[in-house]
Amino acid sequence: MAVDELAASLLYQVTALAGEVAGRMRDGLERLELTGPTANLVWVLDPDAEPQPLRKLAGLLRCDPSNISLLSAQLEERGLAERRPHPRDGRVRTLVLTGEGREVRERLLAVVARHSPFVGLGAEEQRLLHSLLAKALAEDR
C-alpha cells in the first residue's frame, strides 16, 4: 500500500472509529443526560488531580475557551461542577466536579468501558494503541 493510500486509510479508520464510539455511547450519554461535549469535559475533570485552568481544559479538548465557558455553565446548572479560583493563582478560574459530578463521572467511565470498541483487544494491545494514539496527538511535532 502506497504511503498516501495508507495515510488515507488510517484517517478513514479513525473517522469510522469515532463514529462507532459515538454510536455506542449515545444511549449511555442520554441516560446520564450528557451531550458528547459535556461528557468529554466531565471525562477530563480528574477529581484526584489538581484543578486545571479553563484555558488548559480548552486545549485538552481542542476547542475554543468560549466553548469551555458554555459547557462549564451547563455543568454548573446541573450541579455537576463549579468554577473556582485556582489554588495557587486566584486570578485563574478552574472547574471542579461536585460530589454529584464525581458520581456521574464514575458512571460515565463505566459506560465507556462497557461500550468501548477496544474491549476485544488485550491489555498489551490497548497499551500499544494508547501509546500510538498519544504520539499521533502530541502537539510537539
Average pLDDT of the chain to the nearest whole number: 91
109 alpha-carbon distance from chain centroid: 10
pLDDT digits (tens, 9 = 90+) for 91-123: 889 999 999 999 999 999 998 888 888 989 999
Q: Would you list the domain boundaries of the chain? A: 3-137
Q: Percent of the chain scored above 90 by pLDDT?
A: 66
Whole-number Å distance between alpha carbons of 123 and 89: 40
pLDDT digits (tens, 9 = 90+) for 51-68: 999 999 999 999 999 999
- Give me 91's grid cell: 486570578
Asked if residue 24 has pLDDT above 90, the reply is no
Architecture of domain 3-137: Orthogonal Bundle (1.10)
DSSP secondary structure letter of residue 64: -
Helix (H) or strand (E) holding 84: strand 81-85
